Structure 1
Amino acid sequence: MIERGAMQTWKMLWLALVSAILVACANTDDSEVGLPTGSRTEQAYYEMAQRQLRTSQWDLAIKNLRALEDNFPFGNYAEQAQLELIFAYYRNYENDASIAAADRFIRLHPQHRNVDYAYYMKGLSSFTEGTGLFERFMPTDLTSRDPGSARESFAYFSQLMARYPESRYAADAQKRMIHLRNLLARYEVHVANYYFKRGAYLAAANRGRYIVENFQQTPAVPDALAVMVQGYHLMEMPELEANALDVLLNNYPKHPAVNEDGSFNYSFYEGPSGRSLVHRVTLGLFEKSDPRGFDSRELYNPEYNRDETPLPPELM
């Protein structure tokens, strides 16, 4: 009897503890939302969310904006709350959620007067994908990263420019598209340098040609031409080599790989043939003396600095 009574007592205490924890969690949720249970009107949700947005309380603002839409889907503030939810997700570094919220707004309100903002935010969220707190405060070369998000962002901004060329966001979108195009072109140069390192000269030359054909007037074009000259030289294709060199000398005579007498410095980029056996067998795992590659950004790309993130200040 005593043992059974003790067990009953422990059960009661355990249930009381669990109940207290659940009540505390519920109270925490209420306090996070910031509204007393009896005053959760549409206007109260919206005004609280506005205060939280102004004070950068993104998590709480998201909760109130979502609660507003869930409870008042056809209310006076529903559409505006959907737009501000896109922004809140973006500022909270939830880029995928921001893009999804923008897609939803476009689908629900294709003729809305502010639908251009949703298109713009899709591009902006993809533009900053992968640039979290660490990348914002520490130097990093975004041109050497996977270009998937950059391509996606460029496509979203292109949609905005095509559908709403007179949008108030068009000018900023155009600047970002220029930056993204430069970034994508530079990524191709990185790939070409990698192919040189592996001895894949045809693949490297093709990357250079791709840049020249698809990313004209970008700062990567000089290096693309140098890549073509080097690649065709190593493959013993003198006609193609001469054509690429002629274009390079006529347009970029100051390229670092061009000698003072106008000839091309073929030793500027050292190929894998000069590496040790250990380097070739281990694919460079134990010897890191990689060639410098073609990278003339300091000369042809004024916004680039090796000590800073290559993002123009006006696009931060």
Structure 2
Amino acid sequence: MHKFVKGAAVAFFSLAIVACSSKPDEEELLAGKQSPEELYSQARNSMELGNFSKAVKTLEALDSKYPFGPYKTQVQLDLIYAYYKQADTANAIANIDRFLKLNPTHPDADYVTYMRGLVNMQADSYMLHELLHIDRTDRDPQNAKDAFKDFAKLLKAYPDSKYAADARQRMQYLKNRLASYAIKVAEYYVKMDAWSAAAVRAQTVLESYSDTPYVEQALAIMAEAYGKLGQNELKQHVLMVMKANYPDNEMLKQD
């Protein structure tokens, strides 16, 4: 079986080269007399040229016209990748879930699970903000959470998968993203004098993201919040942890 989509999927972002030819009309493709081989050849050529819009049209037509044809499985795999390249989250996730439901033991199930993580991770990212170095870590992290779960599922079900190492790296990135979001929320609560909520949100960083660079900030927020709440015993405990791990923190010099 041709594995066109697998090798290319490892890259998180890549630039698509849009071909000059016009998009094929799906009705024409369905009404045409092309064989499955001819249609799939067209789709593959479009993908290799980076014209994923044209590839999607051809693959969708092939899937509709020959749902039980010789390329049915590869068509689904290619559609998932083509939707991903177009940032079409809804269709990508729908096809991924359909594939896994119908083919739970397929040899490419690990790849499809990995792709689910990539699609959700892509949905969480804002390329323009990243290019302009605009901090938007305060945005809703639901897609990041979903991506983390997808990669965790991959590692649990397929620990020896060729995608496992990359998934682990992405999970660390996502942990940092989620920890940063938790800090942003905690800081917002601090500004609103909602000290109990600030302490609880900061504590989630210690509980769930203790291997990220945001632990020191979380401890500082907790210490300040406990102080404002009059919970001096809890504050002193947090300060002890800070002294042991972050002795140069400014809060320790003030206390």
Query: 1:123 and 2:138 equivalent?
Result: no
**Is contact 2:26-2:58 (8 Å) kept?**
no
Partner in structure 2 of residue 146 of structure 1: 140
**Aligned counterpart for 2:40 among listed residues 38, 46, 54:** 46
Query: 1:193 and 2:187 equivalent?
Result: yes
| Distance (whole Å) between structure 2 residues aligned to residue 142 and residue 90 of structure 1 | 22
**Is contact 1:33-1:64 (8 Å) kept?**
no
Work out which of the two has the higher radius of gyration on C-alpha atoms and give 1 or 2. Answer: 1
Q: Aligned partner of 1:208: which letter?
A: A
Q: Aligned partner of 1:50: which letter?
A: R
Q: Deviation at 1:134?
A: 2.5
Measured on the aligned residues, the alpha-carbon RMSD in Å equals 2.1
Partner in structure 2 of residue 181 of structure 1: 175
In the TM superposition, what whole-angstrom CA distance separates every residue of 1:136-190 from its partner, at most 9, and x where no partner exists? Answer: 5332324211111111111111111111111111111111111111111111111
**Aligned counterpart for 1:244 among listed residues 219, 238, 245:** 238
Cα pair distance change 1:180/1:130, threshold 3 Å:
closer
Q: Deviation at 1:256?
A: 4.4
Consecutive unaligned residues in structure 1, runs of 5 or more: 1-27, 265-316
In the TM superposition, what whole-angstrom CA distance separates every residue of 1:217-241 from its partner, at most 9, and x where no partner exists? Answer: 2111111110111111112221111
| Distance (whole Å) between structure 2 residues aligned to residue 171 and residue 30 of structure 1 | 38
| Distance (whole Å) between structure 1 residues aligned to residue 129 and residue 70 of structure 2 | 39
| Distance (whole Å) between structure 2 residues aligned to residue 36 and residue 212 of structure 1 | 56
Most deviating of 208-217 and 185-194: 208-217
| Distance (whole Å) between structure 1 residues aligned to residue 24 and residue 84 of structure 2 | 24
Q: Deviation at 1:32?
A: 7.9
Q: What is the TM-score normalised by the length of structure 1?
A: 0.69
Instruction: Give 3-state SS (helix, strand or coil) of 2:137's partner.
Output: helix
**Is contact 1:181-1:215 (8 Å) kept?**
yes
**Aligned counterpart for 2:68 among listed residues 66, 71, 74:** 74
| Distance (whole Å) between structure 2 residues aligned to residue 86 and residue 51 of structure 1 | 16
Q: Deviation at 1:127?
A: 0.5
Partner in structure 1 of residue 203 of structure 2: 209
Partner in structure 2 of residue 168 of structure 1: 162
Cα pair distance change 1:257/1:121, threshold 3 Å:
same
Consecutive unaligned residues in structure 2, runs of 5 or more: 1-21
Cα pair distance change 1:52/1:162, threshold 3 Å:
same
Cα pair distance change 1:251/1:155, threshold 3 Å:
same
Q: Deviation at 1:210?
A: 2.2
Q: Aligned partner of 1:231: which letter?
A: A
